[in-house]
Amino acid sequence: MTKQIELTLKNIHVTIEGKEIIRGVTFDAHRGEIIAIMGPNGSGKSSLANGIMGHPSYTVTGEALLEGEDILALPADKRSKKGLFLSFQYPVEISGVSVANFLRTAMNAHRGDDHKIKIMEFNKLLHEQMELLHIPKEFATRYLNEGFSGGEKKKMEILQMAMLKPKVAILDETDSGLDIDALQKVCESINILKEKNPDMTLIIITHYQRMLNYVHPDRLLILINGTIVAEGGNELISEIEKDGYKKFKG
């Protein structure tokens, strides 16, 4: 039985400072599906992610439907509350704000004033998720990303996903800047979280195939110069690993 469509993009165009970066992207993401979007540097992958999430620097036209509701008119925070999540390529450091306080604030922003999570309930949930993702409990009291390694910063993004439980999570070049050991650990966390939340839809954006050796997508889309030029499965990953993107550049 075909799963429900969670996210639909129809003829999405993304422009920044008058320059069109994304030129008519259309695809559906089904509930629980893992989709990988690959393409060389400069192909528009991150612009697509930021445009969908509602970054104010980007102008987006077309339709982006989350569970059938067009979200393009909504600001980024409301898109987040609807169940959209973007994991950043370069997570920011926030000095003076602990990991625990940041996550509790994020959860309460999603819940609203009438449904704020109680501190004991929050601490129990946080410790459960940190244990699940193999994150040392002392990280909860450290300032967010301050002094963290690249892999630790990316695992904080995965922890945020675990706490917020989005419907659709976009991982923008999560593998960027990670050595192979750190990448394996981050991908292990993603796989653990996905196993515990099978209905969560993941869109993985990358230009290397190496991350997809650990997190296996159901479908692969190739983005070149702002348009999707190919769609397929593992055979496309093998082609890119062997010959790069030259075949798809036309």
Average model confidence (pLDDT) for the chain? Answer: 93
The pLDDT tens digits of the residues spanning 171-197 come to: 999 998 899 999 999 999 999 999 999
In sequence order, which residues have a C-beta less than 8 Å from that of residue 152 and are 6 or more positions away? 139, 145
- For the four alpha carbons of 140, 146, 149 and 150, in that order, the dihedral sign comes to positive
In sequence order, which residues have a C-beta less than 8 Å from that of residue 27 and are 6 or more positions away? 8, 9, 35, 221, 228, 231
pLDDT at 85: 97
Residue 1 has pLDDT above 60, yes or no: no
pLDDT at 250: 63
Residue 25 has pLDDT above 90, yes or no: yes
Residue 3 has pLDDT above 80, yes or no: no
User: Shortest CA distance to 173 belongs to which of 203, 135, 152, 133?
Assistant: 203
Percent of the chain exceeding pLDDT 70 equals 99
pLDDT at 245: 87
The predicted model scores a pTM of 0.94
Homologous superfamily of the 5-248 domain (CATH): P-loop containing nucleotide triphosphate hydrolases (3.40.50.300)
Residue 75 has pLDDT above 60, yes or no: yes
pLDDT at 155: 95
Query: Which range is least confidently modeled, 16-25, 127-136, 141-150, 230-239?
Result: 230-239
